[in-house]
């Protein structure tokens, strides 16, 4: 890339950010350039840019349903709650299945291609990191996945599409083929513990990484939010890209409150121009 082209990119960034954001983007690009073990932590905000509504946001699913019906205990004890849960979950799954990754997802793939990605720890259950081409062994889904269903009694796992076909055709409350137990999407529900192995794996990366990039998480859901916190406490640098402020902003090297895909595109352009 020529000096003139580099200048044009910087000029474009300056215009686009009204002179405020270019420094943050340049600093973030430099931090990525000098880091070797990057932990990317993603939350609902990266998925909303792919058209998947934030599960917890007001005006979405909770206008139609009562969240307390979907506590694990109620799903187990009440057939009516199970029926409602499957109805809601199926509706949400259809949106996730048809969604496609956005630039932010692909930018993480670019970090992997540069040999810098330690792991992606995601709070999302939509598999968009997989679909963007990131290696599955690098992705830790701490809240599980909507693309599998498991039996709460015997642990048998099914492909979600298989169960969805049955659900649509005749079975409003799917049950396990092996033991007739309760089937539930393999996601962490309210009142359900986080999978210990995935949490431990994530913590190990938090201790080892030299840079943590938070994308689209408000960092209020614990214990997931403790992962970037531990990374910083152990000497990692921190970049936060999120629409809103987070409780960890004061510990970050760079905070950018803007569209993640737009920010990552600008960072990529800078990184490529300096490569």
Look up 110 and say whether it is catalytic: no
Quick check: 231 binds Zn ion (CB under 5 A)?
Answer: no
Distance from C-alpha of 14 to C-alpha of 9, rounded to nearest angstrom: 9
Count Cβ atoms within 10 A of the Cβ of residue 185 and give its class: 0-12 exposed, 13-18 middle, 19 or more buried. Answer: buried
Quick check: 162 binds Zn ion (CB under 5 A)?
Answer: no
Which stretch, 2-10, 33-41, 144-152, 240-248, contacts Zn ion (CB under 5 A)? 144-152
Quick check: 181 binds Zn ion (CB under 5 A)?
Answer: yes
Minimum separation from the CB atom of position 183 to Zn ion (A) = 8
Contact assessment for residue 145 and residue 120, using Cβ atoms and an 8 Å cutoff: no
In the Cβ-directed half-sphere of 163, how many Cα atoms lie within 13 Å?
28
CB nearer to Zn ion: give 146 or 149. Answer: 149
Q: Is 5 helix (H, G, I), strand (E, B) or coil?
A: helix
**Which of left, alpha, beta for 219 (phi over 0: left; psi -120 to 50: alpha)?**
left
Quick check: 83 binds Zn ion (CB under 5 A)?
Answer: no
Quick check: 119 binds Zn ion (CB under 5 A)?
Answer: no
Quick check: 76 binds Zn ion (CB under 5 A)?
Answer: no
CB nearer to Zn ion: give 15 or 154. Answer: 154
Quick check: 186 binds Zn ion (CB under 5 A)?
Answer: no
Contact assessment for residue 110 and residue 144, using Cβ atoms and an 8 Å cutoff: no
CB nearer to Zn ion: give 168 or 179. Answer: 179
Residue in the structure block whose two tokens are 């569209």: 259
Choose which of 153, 208, 226, 273 interacts with Zn ion (CB under 5 A): 153
Residue 64, Cα to own-chain centre: how many angstroms? 24
Quick check: 157 binds Zn ion (CB under 5 A)?
Answer: no
Quick check: 178 binds Zn ion (CB under 5 A)?
Answer: yes
Minimum separation from the CB atom of position 175 to Zn ion (A) = 8
CB nearer to Zn ion: give 79 or 233. Answer: 79
Minimum separation from the CB atom of position 185 to Zn ion (A) = 15
Q: Residue 140: enclosing H or E segment and its boundaries?
A: strand 139-141
List 42's β-bridge partners, or say none: 122, 215
Quick check: 179 binds Zn ion (CB under 5 A)?
Answer: yes
Contact assessment for residue 209 and residue 38, using Cβ atoms and an 8 Å cutoff: yes
Q: Among the options 105, 129, 130, 143, which is catalytic?
A: 143
Pick the closest to residue 48 from 64, 59, 63 (CA basis).
59
CB nearer to Zn ion: give 108 or 183. Answer: 183
Choose which of 1, 15, 34, 154 interacts with Zn ion (CB under 5 A): 154
How many other CB atoms are found less than 10 A from the CB of residue 272?
A: 12
Catalytically active residues are 143
Footprint on this chain of Zn ion (rule: CB under 5 A): 151, 153-154, 156, 176, 178-179, 181
């Amino acid at each position: 890339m020529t000096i003139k082209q580099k200048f044009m990119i910087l000029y474009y960034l300056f215009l686009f950010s009204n002179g405020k954001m270019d420094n943050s983007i340049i600093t973030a690009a430099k931090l990525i350039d000098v880091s070797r073990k990057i932990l990317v932590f993603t939350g609902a905000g990266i998925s909303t840019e792919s058209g998947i509504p934030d599960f917890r946001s007001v005006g979405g699913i909770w206008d139609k349903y009562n969240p307390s019906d979907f506590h694990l205990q109620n799903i187990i004890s009440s057939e009516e709650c199970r029926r409602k849960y499957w109805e809601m979950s199926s509706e949400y799954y259809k949106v996730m299945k048809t969604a496609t990754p956005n630039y932010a997802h692909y930018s993480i793939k670019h970090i992997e291609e540069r040999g810098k990605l330690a792991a992606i720890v995601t709070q999302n259950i939509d598999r968009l990191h997989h679909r963007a081409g990131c290696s599955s062994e690098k992705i830790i889904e701490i809240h599980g996945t909507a693309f599998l269903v498991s039996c709460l009694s015997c642990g048998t796992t099914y492909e979600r599409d298989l169960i969805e076909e049955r659900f649509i055709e005749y079975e409003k409350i799917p049950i396990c083929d092996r033991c007739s137990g309760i089937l539930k999407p393999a996601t962490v529900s309210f009142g359900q513990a986080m999978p210990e192995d995935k949490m431990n794996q994530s913590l190990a990366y938090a201790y080892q990484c030299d840079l943590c990039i938070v994308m689209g998480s408000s960092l209020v859901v614990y214990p997931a939010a403790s992962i970037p916190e531990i990374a910083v406490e152990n000497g990692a640098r921190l970049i936060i890209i999120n629409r809103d402020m987070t409780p960890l902003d004061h510990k970050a090297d760079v905070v950018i409150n803007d569209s993640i895909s737009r920010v990552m595109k600008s960072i990529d352009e800078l990184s490529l121009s300096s490569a």
